[in-house]
Chains A and B, each alone.
Chain A
Amino acid sequence: MGKLKNSMRKITKKNLMTYICLAIGFVIIQSCSAGGLLTFQIKGLLVPVCIYIICAVALNLVVGISGELSLGHAGFLCLGAYGAAIFSKITNGLIPDPIRFLLALIIGAAVGALFGFLIGIPVLRLNGDYLAIVTLAFCQIIQNLLNVFYIGVDKHGLHVAMQDPTKLELEEGGQVIVKGAQGITGTPKDANFIIGIILVFITLFIVLNLIDSRTGRAIMAIRDNRIAAESIGIDVTKHKLLAFTISAGLVGMAGALYSHNLATLTVAKFDYNTSILILVFVVLGGIGNIRGSIIATVILYVLPELLRGLQTYRMLIYAIVLIVIMLFSWAPGAIAFRQRIMERLKNRGKGVQ
């Protein structure tokens, strides 16, 4: 019993460390910002970094904790962004800004979670690479359909049409909100770093608590051995679906933040490359390692920006760095090599003492 308590405390301690590290990081950045030490470039990166941290932590819930490979999270990001942006465009000026933005965030999360649930039901029966390809397929379908999707609003309310804006049949004075491939423009810019970091905390709180809960342990049991988990009475479908839905909801919320950070929103951005980008953060940070996801996101998102001076060689260097880091952090050979070095350092430290 005491042992169990001890291990529980260890987990809480570990989580607490994550929160504290994040809070310290936030305070440092805020004070630098107040002191005028940050460049425009770094300031501009703060909100996108928060968005991708949320995505990476949420995807880690699916990839690391639930053990399923999803290549469709860009689709949820897109749906959340669209849902929130449409809401904000319609209600802009009708509701006070902070309340509208809060509602938009909730709507983004709700849209993401709803589609995560709907897509999860059929999809989670598959596993491994087949699950990956089916989620990728859903992402492509979402992209393709939103490209020919038009929404307008006039006195009579919302009009929805496919393929052709003239089919909206708007009255005089009506406004087209979603214009097919041209997407949504002019969403109010409500996002800022403080809101971003609050959402990161909320995400962490949800994910870390889920992992440490009874449900979380059930999900991990399914990941480790589905049949064994099933045999002790764990409802496999329910738990997998739960993790997938929560993950999609959090990514949808990140999408809402995304659409309120840029003046333009088009589906072209949310292709499989974005899904893969988030997956890169997760894998590099350590599968199942939430804190790792945060660190990897910060490094990998900021890296190409810092490489701007290399001009046309920038993305080439980025690709090489990506491969090298992957080899360095994952290859069994490199891990053994690192451990040898660490041991030698430790021994030397002892020797000096």
Chain B
Amino acid sequence: MKNWKRFTAIVAAGAMALTMAACGGSSSGNTDNTDASSAAQASSAGEAAAPGQAWYIGGIGPTTGGAASYGLAVKNGIQLAVDEINAAGGINGYPIEYAFQDDEHNAEKSVNAYNALKDWGMQLLIGTVTSTPCVAVEAEAEADNMFLLTPSGTSVDAISGANAFRLCFSDPNQGVGAAQYIGEHNLAKKIAVIYDSSDVYSSGIYEKFAETAKEENLEIVCAEAFTAQSNKDFTTQVQKAADAGAELVFLPIYYTEASLILQQCAAMDYAPLFFGCDGLDGLLGVENFDTSLAEGVMLLTPYAANSDDPLSVAFTDAYKAAFNNETPIQFAADAYDCVYAVKQAIEKAGATPDMSVSDLCEALKTAMTEITFAGVTGEITWEADGEPNKTPKAVIIENGSYKML
């Protein structure tokens, strides 16, 4: 009897939750539509377009959880490009409808987000933002033969199918690139690596870096790891690097942890060269960060917020104007470029929005390998396996801003 009471209580609570959820659910369609239509209204298109009369572009990435800053940057980057394109008359004369879904940097949630976008009518996907979810979503997208272009999914498997392309460098690519750059420019012989052993991106770069470093006759004197569970105190890793006499510390990690490492090195009077990958971009944008700590840090990045490249300048200014004067990180630039790359590929293929998802994918697959795209993150061509060809730019931080090397 007692159990029954509890049972009814739960059902009551559940029903309450469900009704709330259902309200949320039904309003969800509305908010999405109003979002999209407000974007469209800003352009010449006017009212929200019917399916077949507009490009339904979906995006997926973390907008909550620990990786939210990357997901929101991508969300904004896509939004900016979509608004610009719609204002200029759309792609092949059709406006873009755009929806972005949260995946909490979780592969399982990412597939749910993908399914929700399919219900919304998504025809092609720009995403996902992070690697692990991208692998899971790509498997689903491949089964549906839906075109996928990831702005920042760096792991090899993130674009395993023929339907998938990426705009950023892959992890191995960055590891090899970094080791070769250090070797060719003779920056140092004794190298220490501090990497995140619990992170796909970081450990992926480190593996390839270690392999290539051998070929380049670089000596890795110490390779120290940290994990997401202990990512505050790096004094031991830094001390070991210093004791091993490393002249250069390679940081294949994100800027959040890097800022702590730089600060802790400074406190220990240890001043080696620092070399990083695209994850370090954003370092100068950390609010209240003492940029003198980052002086002399080198990184390979496709985009630098305050470089003097005219395209970069235009993008940075537009982004700041649209989003509370926030300095865009490389994720935003990649996402922005993704939309324009898709636009160029659609125009090349002469596609129309009334094509089926699969036909569109086939058309875009071919078109992607034929275009030469010039965007904020450089000039890119694509191989049929989805990998981009572009030259990494090495930049150094001088006087609180990036300088091309």
Contacts and interface: CB of A to CB of B under 8 A. Distances in A.
Interface stretch (A98-106, A233-241, A296-304): A296-304
B200 A182 contact: yes
A299 B24 contact: no
Interface string B13-24: 110111011101
B267 interface: no
Given A44-B115, A266-B107, A308 B28 contact: yes
Contacts of A43: 115
Pairs A-B, 3 closest by C-beta atoms: A309-B28, A263-B139, A44-B115
Given A263-B138, A264-B132, A309 B18 contact: no
B46 to A, nearest CB: 23
Interface of B: 3, 5-14, 16-18, 20-22, 24-25, 27-32, 63-64, 101-102, 104, 106-108, 111-116, 118-119, 132-133, 135-136, 138-140, 155, 157, 160, 196-200, 202-204, 207, 210-211, 225, 227-229
The dominant DSSP class at the A interface is helix
Contacts of A296: 10, 14
6 contacts: A40-B119, A144-B229, A263-B135, A264-B107, A309-B24, A335-B9
A165 interface: yes
Interface in A265-300: 266-269, 284-286, 289, 291-292, 295-296, 299-300
B154 to A, nearest CB: 11
Given A269-B107, A321-B20, A309 B13 contact: no
Given A289-B7, A292-B10, A311-B31, A264 B136 contact: yes
Contacts of A305: 112, 116
Given A299-B18, A307-B21, A182 B204 contact: yes
A185 interface: yes
A295 B11 contact: yes
Contacts of B64: 312, 314-315
A325 interface: yes
B30 A262 contact: no
B24 A328 contact: no
A268 B200 CA distance: 9
Contacts of B106: 269
A147 B227 contact: yes
Nearest to B32: A309
Contact of A166 (B24, B118, B139, B210): B210
A189 interface: yes
The dominant DSSP class at the B interface is helix
Interface in A181-200: 181-183, 185-186, 189
Given A180-B203, A310-B31, A44 B111 contact: yes
Given A40-B119, A309-B27, A268 B228 contact: yes
A231 interface: no
Contacts of A268: 132, 198-200, 228
Best-surrounded residue of A181, A262, A308, A328 (most CB of chain B within 10 A): A181
Contacts of A266: 107, 132, 200
B197 A181 contact: yes
A185 B135 contact: yes
A284 B9 CA distance: 11
A48 B13 contact: no
A262 B110 CA distance: 10
Contacts of B7: 286, 289, 291-292
B115 A321 contact: no
A338 interface: yes
A16 to B, nearest CB: 15
Nearest to A267: B198
A273 B204 CA distance: 25
Contacts of A308: 25, 28, 101-102, 113, 116
Interface string A111-150: 0000000000000000000000000000010011001100
Given A166-B210, A284-B10, A286-B10, A307 B111 contact: no
B135 A147 contact: no
Contacts of B118: 40-41
Interface string A322-338: 00010011000001001
Contact of A41 (B12, B107, B112, B227): B112
Nearest to A39: B119
B17 A299 contact: yes
A27 interface: no
Contacts of B8: 342
A185 B157 contact: yes
Given A147-B227, A166-B210, A314-B102, A181 B203 contact: yes
A41 B210 contact: no
Given A264-B132, A306-B21, A309-B28, A269 B229 contact: no
Given A147-B227, A312-B63, A285 B10 contact: yes
A286 B6 contact: yes
B30 to A, nearest CB: 7
A348 B6 CA distance: 22
A165 to B, nearest CB: 6
A272 B49 CA distance: 45
A32 interface: no
A130 to B, nearest CB: 20
